[in-house]
């Protein structure tokens, strides 16, 4: 099955929320984000609805304290205020929401990606569909930095593993060293989508870098198997870049000793 | 084998670096951090040497551009400037270093954990062994927040998995939902060490929360097996806390559909 709804059900629900907002005097706009926004071509049966509701000054708390404006069509079976600005919520039919409510002036001080105006009152300044402050820039460190940092992380990670700190080892190797592999992928193949997400570089990685993505299962081997992930990262580095031999050999020895111990 | 050195070799090396610094006119102090610092009782054969070198005004670049002050005893076989302030480096005998060089005034504006003064010139203000600005505080969200956020993350993660975004799914479930499990551990058992590390809550988790640690292997199952991790997180939440039934059931259905697809 997967989810019970189809992409058009998601769009209909968003429009229905827009209609409900339009009938309330204090609403100014509904701005769709992500696949509910400008990237609507990516909307699929695994998407949720991510949006901002913009309301008049001093009205935000009304919208947050009573969610009836969301329940014109369907009732919510799960609602969870996950930030001071918004909720995650689930409709009875399985449609999942992530939304925040802002007053117009608040948009001047928060970073967000450009959205799609699903509905707006004539009083709403359409400029606010775009962020008013700069997003974090995509930083691309030099090759040598990513390679050496990956090596150093593997060294620290395998030592923590040997000490029995397997959670810390997992995170060093299978997250932070993998971050470095993701940085290095750009030197080995062209980003097929050129769709970098400033809030999470890992989004759509498999589509953007299909060659490098092939080794991902070997780099994320789970809590007990960090030494195998270390070896796979060393192999990736060694096959594609200049790698410091003494440190590489030291790490390999530590990996082998971890296997003898177990 | 593991590493080639013993804990006392680490201490001897740190003292030797201190002696080398003491012979240079512009050095002010060597401050050991972590297990090279105040937690020296934790120093073991898997430790590296983590320290700050404090130098006189306008002398920092001299120490960073020429590392001969580190090589009085042993030569370095790997040196990597990983930040604008410092290096990671490896000695020929396998001892690994992480260090930064600061001028005294810089310590006023950076957060760090209290260190141990290994050596200091009489001109050095010993107050600087302790951070001059406050460390990030340990935030403990309410139980309901951690439980609901874990559920929501599992929902988003399993959908990304089903879409083929397995890297993003891995990170949502096996990192961010696991962060919530780590927060919740405190409600189930007492922190045996009470040794929270403000820079990484995962350090020594296995020793601090041995009961919760037993399920960690089931929560971090690797890139291909995120659905199993989702089920294990749901079980953990369900056994110990109040869990929203409709969202839990929806997530379980999505997990089962992921297994039918494969």
Decide if pLDDT at B252 tops 80. Answer: yes
Q: A203 and B168: CB-CB below 8 Å?
A: yes
Report the alpha-carbon distance of residue B205 to residue B219 in Å, rounded: 14
Confidence of residue A178 (pLDDT cuts 50, 70, 90): very high
Q: What is the pLDDT of residue A96?
A: 96
Q: What is the count of residue pairs from A and B with beta carbons less than 8 Å apart? A: 160
With the C-alpha atoms ordered B234, B239, B243, B246, is the resulting torsion angle positive or negative?
Answer: positive
> In which band, very low, low, confident or very high, does the pLDDT at B2 lie, cut at 50, 70 and 90?
low
- B-chain CB neighbours of A47 within 8 Å are 159
Say whether pLDDT at A199 is over 70. no
Residue B70 burial (C-beta neighbours within 10 Å; 0-12, 13-18, 19+): buried
pLDDT tens digits, residue range B168-194? 999 999 999 999 999 999 999 998 886
Across chain B, what does the average pLDDT equal? 92
- Chain B neighbors of A220, CB-CB under 8 A: 167, 170, 174, 222-223
Mean pLDDT of B133-151: 87
- Predicted pLDDT of residue B192: 86
Cα B9 to Cα A171, B1, B42, B49, B93, distances in angstroms: 28, 16, 14, 11, 10
| Count of other CB atoms within 10 angstroms of residue B38 | 15
pLDDT greater than 90 at residue B247: yes
Please check the confidence at residue A201 and state whether its pLDDT lies above 80. no
B145: closest CA of chain A, how far (Å): 7
Radius of gyration of chain B (CA): 23
Domain positions in chain B are: 7-129, 143-261
State the nearest Cα–Cα gap between B54 and chain A, in angstroms.
24
Query: What pLDDT does B197 receive?
Result: 67
Which of A237-246, B158-167, B199-208 has the lowest average pLDDT? B199-208
Q: What is the largest CA-CA distance in chain A?
A: 71
B226 in reach of chain A (CB within 8 A):
no
The B residues from 40 to 79 touching A (CB cutoff 8 Å) are 44, 46-48, 77-78
Give whichever of A37-41, A139-143, B14-18 has the largest mean pLDDT: B14-18
At residue B103, the pLDDT reads: 96
The predicted model gives A77-105 an average pLDDT of: 95
Residue of B nearest to A83 (CA): B145
Is B208 an interface residue toward A (CB < 8 Å)?
no
- Strands B86-91 and B96-103 come out as antiparallel
A248 touches chain B (CB under 8 A): no
Does any CB of chain A come closer than 8 Å to the CB of residue B220?
Answer: yes
Mean predicted confidence (pLDDT) in A27-44: 93
Question: Which of B2, B173, B249 is the best substitution to test chain A (most A C-beta atoms within 10 A)?
Answer: B2
Task: Specify the pLDDT at position B1.
Answer: 43
Q: pLDDT confidence of A196, banded at 50, 70, 90?
A: low
Identify which has the larger pLDDT, B244 or A110. Answer: B244
Query: What's the rounded mean pLDDT across residues B100-128?
Result: 93
Residue of B nearest to A178 (CA): B167
CA–CA–CA angle A199, A203, A208 (5° rounding) = 125
Nearest CA in chain B to A142: B82
- What local confidence, expressed as pLDDT, does residue B212 receive? 97
B39 has pLDDT over 70: yes
> Diameter of chain B by CA atoms?
71
The pLDDT of residue A2 is 52
Contact at CB, B1 and A253, closer than 8 angstroms = yes
Whether the predicted pLDDT of B218 surpasses 90: yes
- Tell me B223's DSSP state: G
- Contacts with B170 from chain A: Cβ below 8 Å: 220
Q: Which residue has the higher pLDDT, A3 or A34?
A: A34
Chain B residue nearest residue A228, CA to CA: B222
Class of domain A7-129: alpha beta
With contacts defined as CB-CB under 8 Å, which chain B residues touch A49?
Answer: none
Flag the least confident range among A16-20, A132-136, B251-255: A132-136
pLDDT at A186 over 90: yes
- Residue B198 reports pLDDT greater than 50: yes
Nearest CA in chain B to A153: B88
Residue contact B257–A2, C-beta within 8 A: yes
Q: Where are the beta strands (DSSP E) in chain A?
A: 27-33, 49-55, 76-80, 86-91, 96-103, 116-120
Q: What is the mean pLDDT of residues A122-137?
A: 85
């Amino acid at each position: 099955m997967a989810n019970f709804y189809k992409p058009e059900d998601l769009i209909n629900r968003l429009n229905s929320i827009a209609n409900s907002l339009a009938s309330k005097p204090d609403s100014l706009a509904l701005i769709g984000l992500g696949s509910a926004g400008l990237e609507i071509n990516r909307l699929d049966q695994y998407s949720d609805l991510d949006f901002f509701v913009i309301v008049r000054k001093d009205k935000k708390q009304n919208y947050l304290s009573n969610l009836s404006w969301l329940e014109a069509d369907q009732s919510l079976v799960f609602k969870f205020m996950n930030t001071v600005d918004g909720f995650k919520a689930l409709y009875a039919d399985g449609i999942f929401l992530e939304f925040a409510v802002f007053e117009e002036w608040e948009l001047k001080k928060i970073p967000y990606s450009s959205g799609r105006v699903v509905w707006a009152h004539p009083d709403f300044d359409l400029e606010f569909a775009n962020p008013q402050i700069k997003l974090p820039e995509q930083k691309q460190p030099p090759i040598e930095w990513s390679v050496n940092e990956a090596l150093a992380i593997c060294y620290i990670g395998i030592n923590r593993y040997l000490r029995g700190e397997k959670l810390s080892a997992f995170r060093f190797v299978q997250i932070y060293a993998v971050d470095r592999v993701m940085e290095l992928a750009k030197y080995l193949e062209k980003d097929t989508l050129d769709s970098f997400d400033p809030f999470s570089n890992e989004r759509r990685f498999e589509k953007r870098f299909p060659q490098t993505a092939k080794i991902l299962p070997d780099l994320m081997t789970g809590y007990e198997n960090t030494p195998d992930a270390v070896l796979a990262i060393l192999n990736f580095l060694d096959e594609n870049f200049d790698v410091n031999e003494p440190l590489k050999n030291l790490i390999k020895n530590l990996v082998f000793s971890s296997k003898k111990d177990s």
